[in-house]
Amino acid sequence: METGQFFSGSYAPEDITFLLRKTVIELTPVAEKEVWLQSGQRHYSEMLSEESVPTPEHMAIYAEALRDGKARLARETLALAAAIAAQPTAAGPIGLVSLVRAGCPLGVLLRRALVLMGRDVRHFGVSIIRDRGLDHAALSLVERECPPENVYFVDGWTGKGAISGELARTLAGRPGYAQRPPRLTVLADLCGTSWLAASCEDWLIPFGLLGAPVAGLISRSLWADDGLHKCMLWESLRHVDQTRAFVDTVSALWTDDMLAEAQRHPAVADPSQYATLQRQSGELVARLMRRFAIDAANRIKPGIAEATRALLRRVPEHVLVNRRADPDVRLLLGLAARHDIPVEEAGDSILPYKAVTIIRKVR
């Protein structure tokens, strides 16, 4: 069953337009989904498992992370927006394309910041799916309003670089996207594959701790080969929705002085640092594949956000953290304890990441 398109989820309508088709599908239990995924009989983008209501403890850690991280978020989103605003543009508005769904909270903040800087902006939520690519039908709709020269892609962070690579592959033959790497903007680039990042630090990004309740109540995107990709709306989570509260909390901190500082010192990419991150990330993934006899890198989920999400929606086997005492991994440790998953304090051996989750082999 499908319903109309062009909606904003639980965001304010002016903040984002999701170029997705709303649908309802039968949900797949997590354990069953893992079997389908690892057998190769079904792709992850063909299934959804129910997103559970976060526990009070989970919500408390999210609230604490937002309290502690909101000032950093405010500064870094302004610095990213200032860098985008300083780029040469063709005639027409700037087009922000947030990759559904981890890119959406950052994309909304960037849209608000660019408007504050006097720029004409359109912001869209568009699906990208590992191994299957960016939604070309959605990107064609973006291009009706924004020329490719003005389009910037947004994600929350990078992990191993799978989505960065998928974006590059998808855009390789599309006219107007000759920029290499693609203009992907992230808050934290952990593997050195973005075009622009506020930092390369694995830190406790608040919106990395929640799924739908901080991303407009939409699900992960679902593959479709007959037009726009699809998603479900998680109405069951509306009572815990933090979507608007998150962006309002961060953007309320912006001051004239902070804006002026960002325009004097916009975010700047550091290619030399990126090369080191790419090498460290690739070497770590290779070591973990050997150690845990892993035949598919997709079973390795590095970075606090990815490691946490894997515990929430996959079947984990093992968790590695840099330091157990690091408050940034407190939710991760709590989830591991709840599911009786062993945790190893790995120290600097997992750099540039603070945490990694290994998915259990189930077939």
Residues 276-291 have pLDDT tens digits of 999 999 999 999 999 9
The ranges of the chain with pLDDT < 50 are 1-3
Q: What is the pLDDT of residue 20?
A: 96
Full 3-state SS string of 123-184:
EEEEEEECCCEECHHHHHHHHHHCCHHHEEEECCEECCCHHHHHHHHHHCCCCCCCCCCCCE
Structure tokens at 196: 């622009």
Q: What is the pLDDT of residue 114?
A: 98
Q: What is the pLDDT of residue 5?
A: 64
Q: What is the CA radius of gyration of the chain?
A: 19
CB atoms within 10 A of CB 353: 24
**pTM of the shown model:** 0.94
Question: Strand 184-189 relative to strand 157-158: parallel, antiparallel, unpaired?
Answer: parallel
With contact defined as beta carbons under 8 Å apart, do 79 and 266 qualify? Answer: yes
**Residues of CATH 3.30.1330.30 domain(s) within the chain?**
272-359
With contact defined as beta carbons under 8 Å apart, do 237 and 51 qualify? Answer: yes
Structure tokens at 115: 């408007």
Q: What is the pLDDT of residue 2?
A: 46
pLDDT digits (tens, 9 = 90+) for 65-112: 999 999 999 999 999 999 999 998 888 899 999 999 999 999 999 999
Architecture of domain 272-359: 2-Layer Sandwich (3.30)
